[in-house]
Structure 1
Amino acid sequence: MKKIVYMLLVLCFISIYFGGGLLANHHTPESESTLNLAENSKSAILIERDTGKVLYQKNADSILPPASMTKIMTMLLIMEALEEKKLTLDENVRISEKAASMGGSQIFLEAGEEMTVNDLLKGIAVASGNDASVALAERIAGSEEAFVEKMNNKAKELGLKNTTFKNSTGLPDTDHLSTASDMALMAKELLKYDEITKYTSIYEDYLRKGQDNEFWLVNTNKLVKFYDGVDGLKTGFTNEAKYCLTATAEKNGMRVIAVVMGANTTKERNSDVSQLLDFAYSKYATKTLFDKDQKVTDFKWIKANQKEVEIVTNDRISIVHEKGEDLDSVKTNIKMNQNITLPLKKGTSVGNLEIIKDNKVISSTDLIVSEDIKKANLVTLFGRTIQSFLRN
């Protein structure tokens, strides 16, 4: 009897030890369990942009200094200000003493000089200009301090729990911190503005061209030139942060974002990002279901001034899948909010478009109204009532 019990205990131990290990591997993504990508970096993450699906990660939630990758958030707020017409690309911005005095990467602005928003944005995106970042921060918010408050508020809005900004540039500060995961989400949001890559993809250009103080811009992200499909996004380096890079590439209709933090050299940084991009494009593909601002449905509000309003997508909607994977089970489902009150501003979310695969919701994207919607006046409502009565 004792021998039987002993044998059962041994079998139980073997089952737990080996079976448990197999079970754990079953739930661990292949990218984490069988690959060793970005081995030169302290942390890394690779995501598909449209869905946000994580394709690979390594210590992605480690809290580290982001250096000039901070400017992804700075550029996001600049693009929002442009979209909201609070700023125009051809507007001249006067450079303050503070902006002109910034150290580190700069485009050598002078106090009292004026430069267009377009050129300042170019100076941030291409040359990582700290002076240009502060100049636009002051223009948008009145002061860099007020702009940093906006940055932190936006981080909260995006659900970034491990990011704290102390400046608009990424210059060293003990409490200025983020993660590879948070940086990827910031980049995902910034890339909603398609025009940003017109700036971040520039390899070289000039500011003040033809003038005595002409300045040659050379992109700090060399992959823009040397890796097919890379068109952004932002490098970073300080002694504390080491070499960092948030890169984005688009090939064969699939856009991905790769982040590495804490590499010891630019060569290692670029090698790690290239390795992540190679992995993404060798194994995965995307299928676009809807483009950004594409009509999904019409909606009728009885009390609205318009009879029907187009409901459109807030962003491009895709599914990411392993190459060769069967997609026959993919479906879409529209869910409209039940408690909608008028008036509504253009761009207001009124529902979601769910992507369903194998009876599971794999993504959900906001659906928005394509125009402002006001309440119908009494005459319109009365007319509609009469028409409805006559039809019946």
Structure 2
Amino acid sequence: MAEQERNTDKGKMTVLKIKRRIAALILICCTVYVTGLSGMKTQMREVQAETKEPENLYAQSAVLMDADSGRILFSKNGQQERAMASTTKIMTCILALEYGGLDDKMSVSAYAASQPQVHLGAVKGEEFYLRDLLYSLMLESHNDSAVIIAENVGKSVEGFADMMNAKAKELGCKNTYFITPNGLDASDEKGSHHTTAEDLARIMKYCIMDSPEKDMFLEVTRTSNYQFTDCSGKHSYSCTNHNAFLQMMKGALSGKTGFTGDAGYCYVGSLKDKGRTFIVALLACGWPNNKSYKWADTKALMNYGLEHYEYRNIRQDVPTGTLKVYHGVDSQNPFEPETEIPLEVAGTAENWSILLRDDEKVNVNWEKKKNAEAPVGKGEKVGEVRYTLNGELLKSYDIVSGCSIPEKNAAWYIKTIFRLYFLQKV
């Protein structure tokens, strides 16, 4: 009896130990789970911190653009229309380079001579070479130089404004309207002189990347100091570049400042580093006495681009397969009702790289016809490959037929039957 009780007690102890071990195991699992979950949350927070977009910018409108593709990498009210002050002069400069000659003589009108400060101080009747006026325009931001250029290149300020608006439209600037060549606040029956941060960045991209005169544009806007005289040699002038950003960051490429009462402080600038070119455009970036706000915003946006965006090859091989063609000529199986032809993607390069953040992924989708009726020509489009990022189309390629297939018509049947049944017997 005592032995039986002892065995019972041992059994109870064993069960109790097992329960304790199970409880301990559950506790360990819960601890590991909670710790792991906490670790995961920490990692997520670290990733979010790593890709956190710039905050607390002073500018009321700001964008960061990839100058190679024109893709907007960051935008704060980027499509809001605002006055842009002397950042206007990048358009004046590039049009003067494209439509004028550097050694062209530019005469000064009374209207040009009457422009407010900041001005060169040109006098009615004087003449200057366009080359020299461009340095005056871009380094010192002289308002009279802008009008002299406009009146001589565009025949009038209004004529030059038409050229500016035509170029803006050509570049895809849908929310920009130019009235003056110098950016002074102005309005007419069509509206006020304005742009958007996105459009301003788009114009800068053209000036430094796409224009046939981009090299001269960069030469002018990167010059620190410049001296010149009027065409007669009687009056001497000196210009100093006021784009302080050129000395602020390694790789600073070009830029233009601006200020008016309506616009506030504005800036558009560019930077190149390790094959990447970024453009920053800022509008309404403070008013006096906050002249330095534009430099803080520019550096913040440029550093964001430099730290988070790298080139990645996104090209993918697409399994295009074949296309089933009905009633087409197949020399190997002449009387089969259908045949298949190979397909290929037209125009793809071996490598296609774009700037991407670590957390960005390009989606590649394709669609194509499953079948077609003959005839089908070689290179005929039967589908499309689409590369998209965040729902935005980056690029598309056509899926085309790799060979041609003629149609089986009455003449083909007669000729084929004659060859098979008569010529072979002969």
Asked if TM exceeds 0.5, the reply is: yes
Aligned runs of 1:1-392 on 2, under 5 Å? Answer: 34-37=52-55, 39-81=57-99, 87-174=100-187, 175-191=192-208, 192-193=210-211, 194-195=214-215, 196-208=217-229, 213-264=235-286, 265-286=290-311, 319-322=354-357, 356=387, 362-363=394-395
- Cα separation, partners in 2 of 1:172 and 1:357, compared to 1, 3 Å: closer
Answer yes or no: is the 8 Å Cα contact 2:107–2:125 preserved in 1.
Answer: yes
Give 1:285's aligned amino acid: E
Output the CA distance in 1 between the equivalents of 2:302 and 2:196: 19
Contact 1:70 1:168 in 2 (8 A): yes
Cα distance change, pair 324–65 in 1 and its aligned pair in 2 (3 A): closer
TM-score by length of 1: 0.64
Say if 2:270 and 2:280, in contact at 8 Å, map to a contact too. Answer: yes
Q: 1:226 to 1:355 in 2, by over 3 A?
A: farther
- The structural deviation recorded for 1:318 is 5.8
Change (3 A) 1:324 1:165: closer
**CA pair 149-320 structure 1, distance change in 2 beyond 3 A:** same
Q: CA deviation at 1:34?
A: 4.1
Query: Is contact 2:161–2:178 with CA below 8 Å preserved after alignment?
Result: yes
Shift of 1:279: 0.8
Cα separation, 2, equivalents of 1:288 and 1:89: 41
- Separation in 1 of the partners of 2:92 and 2:355? 29
Partner SS, residue 263 of structure 1: coil
> 2 CA distance for matches of 1:42 and 1:158?
24
C-alpha contact (below 8 Å) 1:37/1:276 kept by paired residues: no
**Change in 2 beyond 3 A, CA 1:55/1:110:** same
Matches of 1:134 and 1:362, distance apart in 2: 39
CA contact (8 A) 2:271 2:277 kept: yes
Note the alpha carbon deviations across 1:105-161, whole angstroms, 9 max, x for none.
222222222211111111112111211111111111111111111212222222322
Identity %: 29
Per-residue Cα deviation, 1:45-84 (whole angstroms, up to 9, x for no partner)? 0001010111111111111110111112212322321xxx
Contact 2:139 2:242 in 1 (8 A): yes
Which residue identity is paired with 1:271? Answer: A
**In 2 relative to 1, CA 168–53 (structure 1 residues): closer, same or farther, beyond 3 Å?**
same
Give the counterpart letter for 1:218 in structure 2: T
The offset of 1:38, in angstroms, is: 5.8
Gaps of 5+ in 2: 1-47, 315-351, 365-384, 398-426
AA of the residue aligned to 1:200: T
Task: Indicate conservation of the 8 Å contact 1:355/1:364, yes or no.
Answer: yes
Q: Does the CA-based 8 Å contact 1:244-1:261 persist in structure 2?
A: yes
- The one-letter code sitting in structure 1 at the alignment partner of 2:254 is G
Residue identity opposite 1:186 in structure 2: I
What CA distance in whole angstroms lies between the structure 1 residues aligned with 2:238 and 2:312?
A: 40
Does the CA contact (< 8 Å) of 2:120 and 2:136 recur in 1?
yes
CA 1:73–1:318: 2 relative to 1, 3 Å: farther
Q: Deviations over 1:160-188 (max 9, x none)?
A: 22211111111111411111111111111
Query: How big is the shift at 1:241?
Result: 0.9
Contact 1:61-1:181 within 8 A present in 2 as well: yes
Q: Report how many aligned residue pairs link the two structures.
A: 281
Distance 1:287 1:214, change over 3 A: farther
CA contact (8 A) 2:106 2:127 kept: yes
State the Cα distance separating 1:364 from its structure 2 match: 7.2
Q: Where does residue 45 of structure 2 map in the other structure?
A: none
Secondary structure of 1:266's partner? coil
Are residues 212 and 224 of structure 1, via their aligned partners in 2, closer, same or farther at CA, if it must alter by over 3 Å?
A: farther
Amino acid across the alignment from 2:303:
D
Measure, in 2, the Cα distance between the counterparts of 1:213 and 1:287: 54
Tell me the TM-score normalized by structure 2: 0.59
Question: In 2 relative to 1, CA 42–156 (structure 1 residues): closer, same or farther, beyond 3 Å?
Answer: same
**Offset of 1:90 from its aligned partner?**
1.7
Give me the whole-angstrom Cα distance separating, in 2, the residues matched to 1:364 and 1:72.
Answer: 32
- Is the Cα–Cα contact under 8 Å of residues 218 and 254 in structure 2 kept in the other structure? yes
User: SS of the residue aligned with 2:183?
Assistant: coil
Partners of 1:63 and 1:152 in 2: CA distance? 15
Change (3 A) 1:108 1:276: same
Aligned partners of 1:50 and 1:318 also within 8 Å: no
Residues 211-220 or 185-194, more deviating: 211-220
Give the aligned residue type for 1:280: G
CA distance in 1 between partners of 2:311 and 2:228 (Å)? 38
Contact 1:51 1:363 in 2 (8 A): no
Amino acid aligned to 1:204 = N
Structure 1 runs not aligned, ≥5 long:
1-29, 82-86, 290-316, 331-353, 366-392
Match of 1:292 in 2: none
Task: Please give the alpha-carbon distance, in whole angstroms, between the structure 2 residues aligned to 1:245 and 1:49.
Answer: 16
Partner letter of residue 189 of structure 1?
Y
Per the alignment, do residues 240 and 231 of structure 1 end up closer, same or farther by CA in structure 2, a change over 3 Å counting?
Answer: same
Higher radius of gyration, 1 or 2 = 2
CA offset digits 1:338-371 (Å, max 9, x no partner): xxxxxxxxxxxxxxxx99579x962479xxxxxx
